[in-house]
């Protein structure tokens, strides 16, 4: 919590609880061994005056209510390729948990630039309805991403920032 005491606004908890379409371990095991530790970390971050951002790749749907209960402020990255349903998650906890997601790096590699733009705008429009969305990548940018798609990501984000997208 030294970073929060030094003035950081957000402290990142870096862990992975999910895989593609399933959790990495059983929910009873996660509830018993991981959830209490996560709750203590989030409490300590809040006590230090910062927001708690949890990085957890993979399938996250079974954990959402627990994240809210633990007080997690932001979940990153929320990957569609892993089986996560952004619309369902927003309906379930969208007013209580912010999501940092919406620029799908993994599936975006397989899209045309126009398809990628439309996908980014779909996530942006869904997320902005809650006021608790950070438009962010779902994974690290890979060398396999076509250059034109990288350019389209930046064009789309600039258009959003300039207010050219409703």
**What is the set of domains in the chain, with CATH numbers?**
2-161 (3.20.20.210)
The C-alpha R_g of the chain, in whole angstroms, comes to 16
Residue 3 confidence (pLDDT): 84
Q: What is the mean pLDDT of each run of 10 residues along the chain (166 residues)?
A: 86 95 96 98 96 97 98 96 96 95 94 98 94 93 95 98 92
Specify the pLDDT at position 150. 97
What is the rounded CA–CA span in Å between residue 112 and residue 46? 42
Element (H, E) at 135: strand 133-137
**What is the Cα–Cα distance from 57 to 35, expressed in whole angstroms?**
16
pTM as predicted: 0.93
The whole-number pLDDT of residue 50 equals 97
Q: Can you say how many angstroms the Cα of residue 1 is from the centroid of all Cα atoms in its chain?
A: 22
pLDDT of residue 1: 67
Looking at residue 5, its pLDDT comes to 82
DSSP 144-161: TS-HHHHHHHHHHHHHHH
């Amino acid at each position: 919590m030294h970073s929060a005491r030094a003035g950081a606004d957000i402290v990142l908890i870096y862990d992975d609880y999910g895989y593609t379409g399933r959790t990495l371990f059983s929910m009873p095991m996660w509830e018993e061994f991981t959830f209490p530790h996560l709750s203590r970390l989030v409490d300590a971050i809040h006590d230090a005056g910062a927001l708690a951002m949890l990085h957890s790749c993979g399938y996250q749907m079974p954990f959402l209510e627990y994240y809210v209960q633990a007080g997690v402020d932001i979940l990153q990255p929320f990957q569609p390729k892993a089986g996560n349903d952004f619309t369902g998650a927003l309906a379930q906890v969208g007013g209580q948990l912010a999501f940092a997601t919406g620029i799908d790096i993994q599936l975006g590699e397989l899209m045309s630039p126009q398809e990628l733009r439309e996908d980014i705008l779909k996530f942006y429009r869904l997320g902005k309805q809650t006021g608790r969305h950070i438009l962010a990548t779902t994974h690290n940018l890979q060398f396999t991403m076509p250059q034109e798609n990288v350019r389209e990501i930046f064009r789309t984000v600039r258009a959003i920032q300039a207010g050219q997208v409703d």
